């Protein structure tokens, strides 16, 4: 029997519980199969790059918090590194260690959110996400001790970090490092070999190595496709060159690998944080810079391995107190290059799994 059929176009979002922010997809379906996808975004565009042109170099730190708001510390770090490169500022060792320590704690928090929401997108409502959030909360408590803020931290400054941690910070870090590995292991027991997780994500939304490189995909999404590229190793900044850690890679580039790479990276981040705690040098945390400080005319690009991938800042100075141009190379934005192609041919039920596995943050996409 021949049934008449026609394709339908549906609109997903902009405010859909699984779109990780205000993101919209125009999806064309043939039955349940996706035949065309157009991602539409910009709903959270705040003109960060334009705002930066009217603020001093120190004030801009607060704007970077609001890019990928799940990893503010790392955003701060990318930005201050670019300013330091532009102005030729050196950072005292204790400042560098504190930056690496806080950046790695932030990476754990961000990856836990990525993993938690991915599981939520799979339909595991509540429980696994709350396991992830429980651990993330403990990290945010530490940030609160450092600077009074939990999410929009603005902890780093050109030349180092804002201030010396209070005495109660160190025992709290020790406790976190002692207990988090068990908590992650518990999450892994619950999830990693779970039948439903495997069935829904193994082989789903495969991104090949060649495609990933050609589209400049970065971060865990690139490594899940089997490319061992991590800027902490490939182009070390702050004190990463002294850190001993591994770069986990996937083999299939599917949604499951992207999930697994994040979980493995959490373990590596704990390893790095442990080394920072052990080797933390004394001395000042910041080189003092004048309040209105003027880098010489010129340009500089600095990049870091953020939790979502390569986060870069390209700054142009005309010798004034504010940058002439501040470009943000956002990993989530560029990671979306490949989304439409990854979704073609999959069922509508797989759409949120694939999108969730990319761990995109809209604050950073729209800027």
* # chain residues binding other proteins, by CB under 8 A: 35
Contact 122, 201 (CB under 8 A): yes
Tell me the closest approach of the beta carbon of residue 184 to other proteins, in angstroms: 29
Candidates 227, 273, 285, 304: give the one binding other proteins (CB under 8 A). 227
Nearest to other proteins of 131, 240 (CB atom): 240
Q: What is the DSSP string of 149-208?
A: -SSS---EETTEESSPPPTTHHHHHHHHHHHHHHHHHHHHHHHTT-HHHHHHHTTSS---
Contact 61, 48 (CB under 8 A): no
> Strands, E, within the chain: which ranges?
8-12, 24-30, 33-40, 156-157, 160-161, 298-305, 310-317, 325-329
Nearest to other proteins of 186, 210 (CB atom): 210
Tell me the closest approach of the beta carbon of residue 141 to other proteins, in angstroms: 35
Candidates 68, 305, 310, 364: give the one binding other proteins (CB under 8 A). 310
Tell me the closest approach of the beta carbon of residue 36 to other proteins, in angstroms: 13
- Give exposure, 306-326, as e/b (b: 16+ Cβ within 10 Å): bbbbbbbbbbbbeeebbbeeb
Candidates 16, 301, 320, 347: give the one binding other proteins (CB under 8 A). 301
Candidates 197, 215, 266, 342: give the one binding other proteins (CB under 8 A). 215
Nearest to other proteins of 45, 134 (CB atom): 45
Looking at the chain, the number of H-run helices and the number of E-run strands are 15, 8
- Preceding peptide of 14 cis, ω within 30°: yes
Tell me the closest approach of the beta carbon of residue 240 to other proteins, in angstroms: 11
| Tokens standing for residue 310 | 């390569």
d(CA 52, CA 142) in angstroms, rounded, equals 28
Tell me the closest approach of the beta carbon of residue 131 to other proteins, in angstroms: 34
Residues 235-254 that bind other proteins (CB under 8 A): 235-236, 241
Candidates 295, 314, 355, 364: give the one binding other proteins (CB under 8 A). 314
Residues 41-70 that bind other proteins (CB under 8 A): 41-42, 45, 47, 49-50
Our finding on whether 287 is near other proteins (CB under 8 A) is: no
Nearest to other proteins of 38, 279 (CB atom): 38
Nearest to other proteins of 133, 324 (CB atom): 324
d(CA 41, CA 8) in angstroms, rounded, equals 21
Count of CB atoms situated within 10 Å of the CB of 148: 11
Distance set, CA 176 to CA 172, 182, 292, 302 (Å): 6, 10, 38, 31
Contact 132, 115 (CB under 8 A): yes
Contact 227, 207 (CB under 8 A): no
Nearest to other proteins of 165, 363 (CB atom): 363
DSSP code, position 286: B
Our finding on whether 214 is near other proteins (CB under 8 A) is: yes
Our finding on whether 327 is near other proteins (CB under 8 A) is: yes
Q: Contact region for other proteins (CB under 8 A) — 57-65, 68-76, 180-188, 208-216? A: 208-216
Which residues of this chain interact with other proteins, rule CB under 8 A? 41-42, 45, 47, 49-50, 211, 213-216, 227, 229, 234-236, 241, 299, 301, 303, 310, 312, 314, 316, 324-325, 327, 329, 333-334, 336-338, 366-367
């Amino acid at each position: 029997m021949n049934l008449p059929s026609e394709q339908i176009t549906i609109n997903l979002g902009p405010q859909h519980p699984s779109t990780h922010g205000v993101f919209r997809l125009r999806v064309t379906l043939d039955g349940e199969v996706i035949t065309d996808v157009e991602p539409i975004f910009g709903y959270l565009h705040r003109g960060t790059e334009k705002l930066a042109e009217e603020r001093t170099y120190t004030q801009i730190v607060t704007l970077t918090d609001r890019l990928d708001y799940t990893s503010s510390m790392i955003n701060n770090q990318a930005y201050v590194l670019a300013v330091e490169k532009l102005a030729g500022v050196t950072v005292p060792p204790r400042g560098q260690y504190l930056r690496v320590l806080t950046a790695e704690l932030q990476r754990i928090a961000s990856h836990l959110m990525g993993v938690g929401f991915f599981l939520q997108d799979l339909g595991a409502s509540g429980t696994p996400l709350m396991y992830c959030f429980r651990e993330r909360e403990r990290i945010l408590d530490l940030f609160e001790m450092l600077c009074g803020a939990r999410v929009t931290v603005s902890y780093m400054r050109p030349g180092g970090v804002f201030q010396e941690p209070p005495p109660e910070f160190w025992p709290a870090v020790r406790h976190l490092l002692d207990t988090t590995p068990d908590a992650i292991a518990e999450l892994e027991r619950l999830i990693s070999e779970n039948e439903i997780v495997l069935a829904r994500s193994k082989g789903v939304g495969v991104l090949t190595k060649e495609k990933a490189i050609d589209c400049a995909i970065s971060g865990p999404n690139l490594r899940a496709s089997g490319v061992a590229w991590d800027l902490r190793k490939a182009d070390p900044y702050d004190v990463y060159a002294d850190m001993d850690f591994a770069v986990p890679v996937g083999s299939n580039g599917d949604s499951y690998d992207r999930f697994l790479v994040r979980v493995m990276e959490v373990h590596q981040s704990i390893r790095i944080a442990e080394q920072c705690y052990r080797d933390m040098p004394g001395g000042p945390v910041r080189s003092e810079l004048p309040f209105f400080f003027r880098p010489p005319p010129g340009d500089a690009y600095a990049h870091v391995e953020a939790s979502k991938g390569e986060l870069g800042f390209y700054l142009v100075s005309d010798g004034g107190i504010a940058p002439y141009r501040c470009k943000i190379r956002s990993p989530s934005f560029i990671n979306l290059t490949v989304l439409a192609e990854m979704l073609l041919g999959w069922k509508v039920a797989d759409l949120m799994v694939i999108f969730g596995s990319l761990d995109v943050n809209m604050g950073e996409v729209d800027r």
